């Protein structure tokens, strides 16, 4: 089954404790992206990757890092999490954007930073 | 990206067609219209997309006006499981593949 898998699904942690949210897709997609969703603000793009070793900032990249060492994985790293990063996070993947195919989303990761 | 405007909420009776409108009056010639939905806080689910012609798939139909300034998503026989927030997005895939989700339409399907 084609899917985007995020882990963990839920996490409560404390300010400053580094954490990584993993994202893996099994569709051999070149493009991957991270979004965060907050009440009243909708979904906003954090980072995206056009292919292995190619990443770029989205609209709200501050406080986040990403890496794309393999095609299937696109982890989101919070080096020093803060309470304003409490949010619902989604990973998405698709063929290259120019191919005009839809993005597939994971089920989400709910982070609470205390 | 073109701005899209949708009604904040709509109701539909179970078994009836749900017609969700979207205005995108500033859409340009190469901007596709995409529809996604989000059930509770699950990941957004792709429904359908189109450029000029009307489109149909197993989930829905998409009707795009000739001037491409508006479109309508049609769920032909709405069920309770179709209760969700529906997003209409007009997008050119040359800005990092970013999807700009507006506030969407909260569709409530009632028995």
pLDDT in tens, A9-42: 999 999 999 999 999 999 999 999 999 999 988 8
- In the β-sheet with A19-25, what is the strand arrangement from edge to edge? A4-7, A19-25, A76-78, A65-66
The DSSP call for residue B13 is E
The rounded distance, in Å, linking the Cα atoms of B10 and B26 is 24
Q: According to the model, what pLDDT value does residue B94 have?
A: 61
Q: Is A18 exposed, middle or buried (0-12, 13-18, 19+ CB in 10 A)?
A: exposed
Say yes or no: A88 contacts chain B, CB-CB below 8 A: yes
The rounded distance, in Å, linking the Cα atoms of B101 and A38 is 12
Contacts of B103 in chain A (CB under 8 A): 42
pLDDT in tens, B40-85: 889 999 999 999 989 999 999 999 999 999 999 999 999 999 999 9
- DSSP reduced 3-state for A10: strand
The rounded distance, in Å, linking the Cα atoms of A101 and B52 is 16
Q: Are A108 and A92 a contacting pair, CB within 8 Å?
A: no
Please name the member of B46, B97, B104 whose beta carbon is closest to the beta carbon of A33.
B97
Residue B11 has pLDDT above 90, yes or no: yes
Query: Closest-CA residue in chain B for A90?
Result: B43
Tokens of B1: 């990206």
Q: What is the mean pLDDT of chain A?
A: 94
Q: What is the mean pLDDT of residues A95-103?
A: 82
User: How many Cα atoms sit within 13 Å of B1 on the Cβ side?
Assistant: 21
Q: What is the mean pLDDT of residues A57-79?
A: 96
CB atoms closer than 10 angstroms to residue A42: 16
CB atoms closer than 10 angstroms to residue A20: 13
Please name the member of A33, A50, A108 whose beta carbon is closest to the beta carbon of B42.
A108
């Amino acid at each position: 089954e084609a899917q985007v898998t995020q882990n963990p699904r839920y996490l409560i942690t404390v300010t400053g404790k580094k954490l990584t949210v993993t994202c893996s897709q099994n569709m051999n997609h070149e493009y991957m992206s991270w979004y965060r969703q907050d009440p009243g603000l909708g979904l906003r793009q954090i980072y995206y990757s056009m292919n292995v070793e190619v990443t770029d900032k989205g609209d709200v990249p501050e406080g986040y890092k990403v890496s794309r060492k393999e095609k299937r994985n696109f982890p989101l790293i919070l080096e020093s999490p803060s309470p304003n990063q409490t949010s619902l996070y989604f990973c998405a993947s698709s063929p290259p954007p120019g191919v005009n195919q839809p993005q597939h989303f994971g089920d989400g990761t709910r982070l609470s930073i205390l | 990206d073109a701005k899209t405007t949708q009604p904040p909420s709509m109701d539909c009776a179970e078994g009836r067609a749900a017609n969700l409108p979207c205005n995108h009056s500033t859409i340009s010639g190469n901007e596709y219209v995409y529809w996604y939905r989000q059930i509770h806080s699950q990941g957004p689910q792709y429904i359908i997309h189109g450029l000029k012609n009307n489109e149909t798939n197993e989930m829905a139909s998409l009707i795009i006006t000739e001037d491409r300034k508006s479109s309508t998503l049609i769920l032909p026989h709405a069920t309770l499981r179709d209760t969700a927030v529906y997003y209409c997005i007009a997008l050119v895939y040359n800005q990092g593949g970013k999807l700009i989700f507006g506030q969407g339409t909260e569709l409530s399907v009632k028995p």
